[in-house]
Structure 1
Amino acid sequence: MADTATVHLVRHGEVHNPQKVLYGRIPGYGLSELGKQMAQGIADYFGDRAERGRPVHLLAASPLQRAQETIAPLAQRLGLPVLTENRVLEAENAFEGLSNVKRHLRTPKYWPLLVNPFRPSWGEPYKQQVERVLQAVKDLSDRALAEHGDGAEVVVVSHQLPIWVTRLWAEQRPLWHDPRQRECTLTSVTSLHIGPAGVESVSYSEPNKELSKQALALPGA
C-alpha cells in the first residue's frame, strides 16, 4: 500500500485592524488579543492530538505577520521549526489598502475591475492560487513522507481565499463563489488527505468555534 499524508491548511487568527482596512499582503498586520487566544487554541488542538498518537511532523506558514504569529505557539509546543512558504501567501487584490470597499465600488474608476468575477478581474486568478498552493502541498507532503514515512502530517498556516479555492478544486466544485458562503472561519482546519493520486479527500474542523463567534468580520483575511 502506498504511503499517505495529511496536510492541514489552517487559516490565521483574528487580526488587529480597527480601521477595517482590506489589508491583503500589506505588512504590519498582526493578531488581535482574540487572535492570540485562537493561536494558542490551535497549539492546544494539535498538541493534544500529538499526545494521543497523531504527531505533526512539519510546520510551515505564509510569510505574513498574522500567519507567523498564528503558528508560533504550536511551534513552541511541538519544538519544531517553521518553514516560511511563499506559495501559501494571501491572494493579490486590487482593492488592497482600502477601507469600506463597498463604498469605493460606486466609484466609476473601479468598475473595470469588476468585469469578470469568474476569474476574478480584481485580483489573482483563482486557478493560479490553487496551482501555487497545491505545489506547496505536494512539496511539503513529499518531504514529510520522505522523512517520517506513512501517515506523516503537516500543518500550514495560510489565508482564507487560497485555502477555500483549493478546497473547491479538491471537491471538484467551480472556483467562482460567493465570498459570504466560504466555510473557512478563523483558525479553521481544512485537511487535505494525500494518497498516490494526490489530494484524495478533504475534511474540515473548527477547533476554535466558540472564539470565532466573538471575532469581528474584518476584510482582507
Structure 2
Amino acid sequence: MSQATVHLLRHGEVFNPDGVLYGRLPEFHLSDRGVAMAVRLAEHFRALADDGATMAYLAASPLTRAQETAQPSATALGLDLNTDERLIEAQNHFEGLKVSASELLKPKYWRYFRNPFLPSWGEPYREQVARMRLAIDAARLEALERGGDGAQAILVSHQLPIWVTHLSLQKRQLFHDPRARECTLASLTTINFEGSEVTGVRYSEPAAALLPGAASTPGA
C-alpha cells in the first residue's frame, strides 16, 4: 500500500492589538513575528525537500492569516497555493469579542453554555473533525497523484480544528480544556498514512524559537 504524509500547520501570530477573538472575521493579518514564523516553516519544508521528501500539495484555509502563513512555503517549494474551505476556523458565537470572565458572565451569553461538551457556543467538535478529515483525505490522494508513493501534503488551518482532529485520530474524547491544547502558533501535527489507514500522529514546533513573547488569543 502507498504511504503518504499530511502536515497540519497552524497559522503564525496574528496582529491583534485589541485581543479580540477574531474567529472567521476577515482581514486579520500576520504580525511581523507571524511572518517570521511562516518563513521559518517554509525553511523547514524546504529542508525536508532537500533531504528527499516529495512535497507535492499545499492548501490553506481561506482566512487571511492562513493564506499568509502558507505563501512562503508555496514559494519555497514551487507549489501552487490551493484554498480549501474545509480548513477554516471553527464558527464561534463569541467572535469579535474581547473575551474575559466578566464579559462571558453577562446573561445574554448564558444560552451558549448549555452544553460545553458539544460545544454549544460554536461549531460542534464532531463537525469540525468531519470536515477536516475530508480535507486531509483529499490532500493525501492529491499528493499521491502528483508525487507518487511517499508524497507529502501541507494543510494550513487553525488551532481548534487541528486539535480536535488530533484528539479524534488518537481516539480520545473531543471535549477538552482549551489551555491544554498541544497546538501552538506555527506548529505541525503530522499524520502518517499507509493506504487510507493512519499509522502515526506526531507533533512538532519548527518555529519554537519565535514563540516566547508571542500573543495567542485563546480559541484562535
* Range class of TM-score, shorter chain: over 0.9
Shift of 1:143: 1.5
Aligned 1:5-24 pairs, distance under 5 A? 5-24=4-23
CA separation in 1, counterparts of 2:182 and 2:219? Answer: 16
* TM-score normalised by structure 2 residue count: 0.97
Query: Is the 1:23–1:220 Cα contact (8 Å) retained in structure 2?
Result: no
Query: Is the 1:8–1:153 Cα contact (8 Å) retained in structure 2?
Result: yes
- Which residue is 2:3 aligned to? 4
Aligned 1:6-45 pairs, distance under 5 A? 6-45=5-44
Q: Which amino acid aligns with 2:168?
A: W
Shift of 1:218: 2.0
- Which residue is 2:128 aligned to? 129
Aligned 1:54-93 pairs, distance under 5 A? 54-93=53-92
- Which residue is 1:196 aligned to? 195
CA separation in 1, counterparts of 2:99 and 2:137? Answer: 37
Aligned 1:152-163 pairs, distance under 5 A? 152-163=151-162
Q: Which amino acid aligns with 2:149?
A: D
* TM-score normalised by structure 1 residue count: 0.97
- Provide the alpha-carbon RMSD of the alignment: 1.0
Query: Is the 2:167–2:174 Cα contact (8 Å) retained in structure 1?
Result: yes
Q: Please, which runs of 5 or more residues in structure 1 have no aligned partner?
A: none
Shift of 1:147: 2.3
Shift of 1:220: 4.5
Shift of 1:197: 4.1
Instruction: Give the percent of matched residue pairs that are identical in Structure 1 and Structure 2.
Output: 51
CA deviation vs aligned residue, 1:164-202 (integer Å, no higher than 9, x gap): 000000001000000000000000000011223432320
CA deviation vs aligned residue, 1:46-89 (integer Å, no higher than 9, x gap): 01111111131100000000000001111111111111010010
Secondary structure of 1:142's aligned partner: helix
Shift of 1:214: 2.3
- Which residue is 2:45 aligned to? 46
Residue 113, structure 1, aligned to residue 131, structure 2: no
Q: Which amino acid aligns with 2:174?
A: L
Q: Which amino acid aligns with 1:158?
A: S
Query: Is the 1:95–1:101 Cα contact (8 Å) retained in structure 2?
Result: no
Count of residues paired in the alignment: 220
Q: Which amino acid aligns with 1:142?
A: L
CA separation in 1, counterparts of 2:44 and 2:11? Answer: 14
- Which residue is 1:148 aligned to? 147
CA separation in 1, counterparts of 2:33 and 2:209? Answer: 11
Query: Is the 2:10–2:157 Cα contact (8 Å) retained in structure 1?
Result: yes
